[in-house]
Amino acid sequence: MRISEDEIRKLTLEAIEELGGKATPDMVKMVVQKSVSKLGELPDEISSPNLTTGRIILTSFGINHPGIIAKITQTLSEAEIDIKDLSQKILDKFYTMIMIIDISNSPKNLKDIQEDMAKCAEELKIKIYLQHEDVFRYMHRI
Amino acid sequence: MPYQFEEILETIRMTEIEHFDIRTVTLGISLRDCVDRNIEVTKQKIYDKILKYGRNHVAYAKEVEREYGISIANKRVAVTPVSIPFDNYHMEDFIEIAKVLDKAASEIGIDYLGGFAALVQKGFTKGEHELIKAIPYALSETKQVCANVNVASTKAGINMDAVNLMSEAILSLAEKTKDNGSIGCAKLVVYCNVPEDNPFIAGAFHGVSEPEVVLNVGISGPGVVLDAVKEAGNCDLNTLAEKIKKTVFKITRAGELIGNKVAEKHKIPFGIVDISLAPTPAPGDSIADILKAMGVEDVGAPGTTAALAMLNDCVKKAGLMASSSVGGLSGAFIPVSEDQGMIEAVRKGNLSLEKLEAMTAVCSVGLDMVAVPGDTPASTIAGIIADECAIGVINDKATSVRILPIYGKKVGDMFDFGGLLGAAPVMPVSKLSSKNFVERGGRIPAPTRSLTN
């Protein structure tokens, strides 16, 4: 984990403000060091956003009916895939769901999972797309 | 969620509804080490080298397509301009080389291979002369090989002898492929100021300053830009420019990602993203439709050139911001037969060859996929090429001519090539003669712009 000088200076100023006028240089140093080491403990996915991960974005949409999410999540769990985030919207009869999944611990590769999902989609009469997260990161984040 | 709902749906909409795809991933391969005194050995070396690097090209591209959910329309190969390493060969040898390139292309499963090329803007070597003589035979006897010849540049001027030779070659090729609507001419481009890293067929080749092997990518996305223009509604041109730039930025980023990933799989360096907007005959995938959505009644109306200039500039600005490795032609393509809107404009008589020529002064290529009557004289074709070169030379930009004098066809006829090449309506050409001018031969000297160093 790399911290720029600016960030350290900002931390120090914050620490001085928190500790008040009575703080000795040693006390400030101790608090800052503690904060810095805490920063280092952040999980990798937050501290290094450039890392290519096994994160896949699953988008599905179609006419809403019961059992869609149940079927999709069941297929995912059978492939030992972790769901990292999920969001859905319903507009009249249509539903849209977007899921962020992590396939790095799954015994299956992306191709197999896409094939499983294609079967799901056919059964449920909806559309399911699986795309690597990078394409969204490249297109929507500078 | 790290992405907003709308962002994710926007990407899905682009790829699934608006025809956003990567038009081509083109593998550039140097053939400079393939030369041998014995033509048979040379042929084997060429074949082996293309297979060595290109064997998995299609498979790798398909893998990346699947991972990112963005389709890659074409997988192609470009080689060193054949005239350079094989300069000591004769016409018959060059035809043999074209055949071996064709064989290698079909073996690795690509649709086109570019690089049967020569750079003769300042003059010919013996080999280059032989290669140009071989072009009508090479392209009519092969299916997948594409040729291009650079006849002019800002630094060298216009080689009128080369222009004349090329117009003869075009007519001869049209005659040799007359049973298929003179399709051979669709594989031949005459260039001015040719870029060395263009991934788009038919003008692609692997330039002499390029590395051993490299991967270049060409994006496409008229449909995406069209929807952005429609969505912008009745706003002023500044606002419209902003909207177009934002959209092109996103598709360029996706293009760069795809290019990098395919190169990574090949374990070769990634070259450039060509940020051209390339239309296809599919409905909605048209540059003409964008111009109409911008406000002109049809392509060819006064204002068309201005609209195209703005569109082209927005594409360049956004592309340059989005990627650090922009190259190739990078602008908007206006091929007539490959763009449904352009075809309609020609059929209705709204778009003439002359207006099209004016439009090429502000966009990335030149007169592209333009069908003219089969009985057009060589000197008239030479005149058209010379005019196009003059635009390129004076404005220091790439221009090109890919003209199809369709054998036996007259003004108003149509010929459907099918697939990406589309259907070409035969356009009227001025009956006035350029003969005495072009047959002077020699070279139009370089303009003062080139004497800055």
Q: ipTM, 2 decimals? A: 0.79
Residue A81 covered by a domain? yes
When divided into structural domains, chain A yields a total of: 2
Q: Is the pLDDT at B340 greater than 80, yes or no?
A: yes
Q: Give me the pLDDT at residue B427, please.
A: 96
Distance of alpha carbon B403 from alpha carbon B186, whole angstroms? 7
For chain A, the helix, strand and coil percentages under 3-state DSSP, each to the nearest 5: 50, 25, 25
Q: Give me the pLDDT at residue A4, please.
A: 64
Q: Which residues in chain B are contacts of A110 at CB distance < 8 A?
A: 66-67
Q: Give me the pLDDT at residue A49, please.
A: 38
- Judge whether B95 and B176 are in contact, CB under 8 Å: no
Residue A25 covered by a domain? yes
- pLDDT confidence band for B364 (50 / 70 / 90): confident
Q: Average pLDDT in the B423-434 region? A: 95
Closest residue in A to B259 (Cα) is A135
Q: Average pLDDT in the B2-19 region? A: 86
- pLDDT confidence band for A45 (50 / 70 / 90): very low
Pure H helices in B195-339: 222-232, 237-266, 287-294, 304-322
A59 and A28 within one domain = no
For chain B, what is the mean pLDDT? Answer: 94
A95 and A26 within one domain = no
What is the per-residue pLDDT across B189-227, written as a single tens digit (0 to 9) for each?
Answer: 999 999 999 999 999 999 999 999 999 999 988 999 999
Contacts of B203 (CB under 8 A, 6+ apart): B114, B146, B148, B189, B191, B194, B329, B365, B400
Distance of alpha carbon B270 from alpha carbon B273, whole angstroms? 9
Determine, for residues B8 and A100 on separate chains, whether the beta-carbon distance falls below 8 Å.
no
Closest residue in A to B322 (Cα) is A142
Give the nearest partner residue to A135 out of B1, B9, B69, using CB atoms.
B69
Report yes or no: A75 at the B interface, CB cutoff 8 Å. no
% of chain B exceeding 90 in pLDDT: 87
What is the per-residue pLDDT across B14-28, written as a single tens digit (0 to 9) for each?
Answer: 888 888 889 999 999
- Judge whether B177 and B183 are in contact, CB under 8 Å: yes
The CATH number that applies at residue A131 is 3.30.70.260
Q: How far is A81 from chain B (nearest CA, A)?
A: 16
Q: Is the pLDDT at B124 greater than 70, yes or no?
A: yes
Mutate to test the interface with B, among A61, A90, A97, A136 (most CBs of B within 10 A): A136
- pLDDT confidence band for A8 (50 / 70 / 90): confident
Report yes or no: A114 at the B interface, CB cutoff 8 Å. yes
Report yes or no: A126 at the B interface, CB cutoff 8 Å. no
Distance of alpha carbon B421 from alpha carbon B186, whole angstroms? 8
- pLDDT confidence band for A92 (50 / 70 / 90): confident
Q: Is the pLDDT at B351 greater than 50, yes or no?
A: yes
A33 and A96 within one domain = no
Q: Give me the pLDDT at residue B89, please.
A: 96
Please provide the CATH number assigned to the domain covering B1-453.
3.20.70.20
Report yes or no: B13 at the A interface, CB cutoff 8 Å. no
Higher pLDDT, A35 or A52: A35
Report yes or no: B9 at the A interface, CB cutoff 8 Å. yes
Q: Give me the pLDDT at residue B82, please.
A: 97
From chain B residues 235-264, the ones with a CB under 8 A of any chain A CB are: 250-251, 253-254, 256-257
Give the nearest partner residue to A140 out of B7, B16, B68, using CB atoms.
B7
- pLDDT confidence band for B452 (50 / 70 / 90): low
Look at residues B142, B195, B186 and name the one whose alpha carbon lies nearest to residue B28. B195
Residue A50 covered by a domain? no
Q: Give me the pLDDT at residue B220, please.
A: 85
Q: Give me the pLDDT at residue A9, please.
A: 75
Determine, for residues B5 and A98 on separate chains, whether the beta-carbon distance falls below 8 Å.
yes
Q: Which residues in chain A are contacts of B3 at CB distance < 8 A?
A: 57, 98, 136, 140
Q: Give me the pLDDT at residue B333, please.
A: 92
Q: Give me the pLDDT at residue B16, please.
A: 83
A128 and A79 within one domain = yes
Closest residue in B to A52 (Cα) is B261
A68 and A13 within one domain = no
Q: In the A/B pair of chains, how many CB contacts fall below 8 A? A: 62
A59 and A36 within one domain = no
Give the nearest partner residue to B1 out of A85, A138, A139, using CB atoms.
A85
A83 and A25 within one domain = no
Report yes or no: A111 at the B interface, CB cutoff 8 Å. yes
Q: Which residues in chain B are contacts of A135 at CB distance < 8 A?
A: 11, 68-70, 254, 257
Contacts of B172 (CB under 8 A, 6+ apart): B136
Closest residue in B to A85 (Cα) is B1
Distance of alpha carbon B337 from alpha carbon B424, whole angstroms? 4
Question: Residue A85 is part of which domain span?
Answer: 55-140
- pLDDT confidence band for B147 (50 / 70 / 90): very high
